[in-house]
Amino acid sequence: MPSALDPRPQPLDHLAECGTDKDPALVLRETTLNHKELRQRVARMASWLRQHVPTKGARVATWAAKGELTCIMPLAAARAGLVHVPINPLLKHAQVAHILADSGAELLIGTKARLASLEEGDVPVDCRAIEENEALEAVGDHHGHLDPSDADPDELTAILYTSGSTGRPKGVMLSHANLWLGAVSVAHYLGMARDDVTLAVLPLSFDYGQNQLLSTWFAGGCVAPLDYLFPKDVMKACARHGVTTLAAVPPLWVQLTELEWNDDATASMRRLTNSGGALTTDLVRDLRGIFPAADLYPMYGLTEAFRSTFLDPDLVDSHPTSMGKAIPFAEILVIDDTGDLAAPGEEGELVHCGPLVAQGYWQDAERTAERFKPAPQSSTFGGTAVWSGDRVKRDEDGLLYFVGRRDAMIKSSGNRISPQEVEEAALATGLVAEAVALGIADDRLGQAVHLVVRAEPGTDDGETLLPKLLARELPNFMQPQVIHWREAMPLNPNGKIDRTALTRELSE
């Protein structure tokens, strides 16, 4: 692994230069690319992009399943001086239309079926849409190539859209340095090496998912991307590719632990990583039983600062509920309500400082100012910090423990869901007069989306039509598991809908 903890960031596309020529780098459906071939594909795609989108800093969006396009684009766009906007393949047309308009994307490359699902007006007039296969064929016929870039590491290179507690998804702006140092940090504390094989099952539109690629390639290893239909597909892929590294979220771990794993699928496993929700004691026990030789890494992160903490595998059994300590290049402070460092055992807000902090939200100064604020005086790094809104405690040994969130975000199957986005979709149907989306504890999902609604007067068929309309407008992971119809909503003393009372009622 090159210069494991060198704090000097490089342009992101230089990750393509880290591996040894003949070592495998990327498993595709028809072939496996070695690192030399990966470099060639990145150089060719970057040249093609430069030809079609010549404006430096222009945004190019991808909306496709895992494959050559979505895996190589982060490096190719960076080399071409463009900003990559990966779109979650699970999103529906309304969310995609918002992302395209908000980012000002000049190019959208997507699968034929996904592009066909877009409605009139979803693609801005100044954005060109190209089918994935057409784009890959054009890149294959392209004879130009671009050498590694000399981009300033502080330049913007990606916008990742993430749901907030209110409103539509917001774009987190990430620099070359953010992504490069994230790759260096994770590869270091996971101890990754040239002979590692990472099974990329997480969406590449998320920071956790995209880092599957970046940290593995920094270490000179190989990535096997997988879009799975059933948990058994993951197990089969582990055996087929000799997987050493598997990253997942708790709901997927629950499904995987219900399978009968064979030795071929577990023998090569070195490490398991978890984020997007806490592991339970039962899950830890089950994973230990299936993968006795693998290290288990619980982790905590937020898109605005990539990754904040990890728990040393040696401490998982003795401190199963801990978030661990700061990852390399991150400074994690616990700040009390007076702005000072919280004492051991005292609750405070988790504040992330250092070079992993993102550049704010794309074209959203108001929400940027709410989350990205000056670092506390006690910070060593100073500058801008991410004030997470998460309440944590630090014990006498420096280990962090999660207490709760300030906002109303719903975390389901590792996805962060905006309640307001679900509510707006319900109200837009014209079938309901009021709508409240809540996250209710669920053993398999972490939280399940429950939607409480009051019917619009004069509508008679809402209970039948509402689920159908929501299925058309919202991605699957946002779909309410249960819709509760009420004749009246409970109100708090301020006359607002009492979300706390509804949550308490539905949790009983």
Residue 175 domain-assigned (yes or no)? no
Query: For residue 312, with 0-12 CB atoms within 10 Å meaning exposed, 13-18 middle and 19 or more buried, which class applies?
Result: middle
Spatial separation of the C-alpha atoms in residues 275 and 279, rounded to whole Å:
9
Check if the beta carbon of residue 64 is closer than 8 Å to that of residue 114.
Answer: yes
Helix (H) or strand (E) holding 455: strand 446-455
Residue 469 domain-assigned (yes or no)? yes
Residue 459 domain-assigned (yes or no)? yes
| 32-34/24-27 β-pairing | antiparallel
pLDDT value, residue 489: 87
Structural domain that includes position 489: 410-507
pLDDT value, residue 373: 97
Look up the CATH number of the domain holding residue 492: 3.30.300.30
Residue 400 domain-assigned (yes or no)? no
- Residue 325, amino acid: K
Sequential pLDDT tens for the chain (508 residues): 555 588 999 999 999 999 999 999 999 999 999 999 999 999 999 999 999 999 999 999 999 999 999 999 999 999 999 999 999 998 999 999 999 999 999 999 999 999 999 999 999 999 999 999 999 999 999 999 999 999 999 999 999 998 755 567 899 999 999 999 999 999 999 999 999 999 999 999 999 999 999 999 999 999 999 999 999 999 999 999 999 999 998 878 988 999 999 999 999 999 999 998 788 888 899 999 999 999 999 999 989 999 999 999 999 999 988 999 999 999 999 999 999 999 999 999 999 999 999 999 999 999 999 999 999 999 999 999 999 999 899 999 999 998 876 666 788 988 888 888 898 899 899 999 889 999 999 988 999 999 999 998 888 889 999 999 999 999 999 999 999 999 988 887 556 688 889 999 999 8
Residue 314 domain-assigned (yes or no)? no
Residue 100 domain-assigned (yes or no)? no
Q: How many domains does the chain have?
A: 1
Residue 446 domain-assigned (yes or no)? yes
Residue 230 makes CB contacts below 8 A (sequence gap 6+) with none
Residue 419 domain-assigned (yes or no)? yes
pLDDT value, residue 366: 94
